Amino acid sequence: MRKKIIHINIKIIMIIISIIAILIAIILKKSRDNADEIMYTKIESIDYSKELIINKDEEKEETKKKIELKEYQNMPQDMKGYKIIGKIESEKINLEQYILEETNKKTLNISVTKLYGPKINNVGNFCIIGHNYINSKMFGNIKKLEIGDIIKITDTYDRTIEYKVYDIYTTNPKDTSCLSQQTQGEREITLITCTFTGLNRLIVKAVESYD
């Protein structure tokens, strides 16, 4: 009889633990969603358009190159109806994700997305946002990146540029300084994801590598 009571108590404890785990997961998801809303609202309220400098000569040269190349030869045009504009890769953290053009709750559940900046692999700060999933999908592993690591960005014409990580830090969702386009004429990328709690943002910044 005593063993039976102990067995029942263990079952009750396991059920309580499961309920607590579910509640924690719900709270974390809600805090991440709230942080995302804060960031999106903040982004909509600022204007970096004056910082976006268009190099006309470079734009003409890019147009000439595109005429000679065929688009979407090595990647699909869309994922679940949302346009793909490129691919991000990092061998170190086993990252390979298509970059979607549009950022919203639906696209962020599909892949990483362009949040802000110039066209892919153009001069300026190309900002990419993605979820920090526990299963290491999307940007779940970018916390393992270190200064000097290489990230590859490939456009839809299969042209790849390598970027070297030069800064890694955490900040709050209201801080949008990581989106600044002041790059002194360099190509840069910024990777953005949430921390485990969802209360802050992990930022990884990289600049074109000429090595």
Mean pLDDT of 110-120: 96
pLDDT tens by residue, 13-70: 777 777 776 766 566 566 555 555 555 555 555 554 445 554 555 555 565 555 567 8
Q: What is the CATH number of the domain that holds 124?
A: 2.40.260.10
pLDDT of residue 32: 59
* pLDDT band, residue 79 (cuts 50/70/90): very high
Lowest pLDDT segment from 30-39, 76-85, 133-142: 30-39
Percent of the chain with pLDDT strictly greater than 90: 60
Distance CA 147, CA 166 (A): 5
| Distance in angstroms (rounded) separating the CA atoms of residues 176 and 180 | 8
pTM for this prediction: 0.76
Euclidean distance between CA atoms 14 and 16, whole angstroms: 5
Q: Is the pLDDT of residue 128 over 80?
A: yes
Please give the Cα distance from 136 to 163 (Å, whole number). Answer: 21
C-alpha Rg value of the chain to the nearest Å: 21
* Tally of domains in the chain: 1
Identify the domain containing residue 102 by its residue range.
2-208
**Which pLDDT tens digit goes with each residue over 168-177?**
999 998 899 9
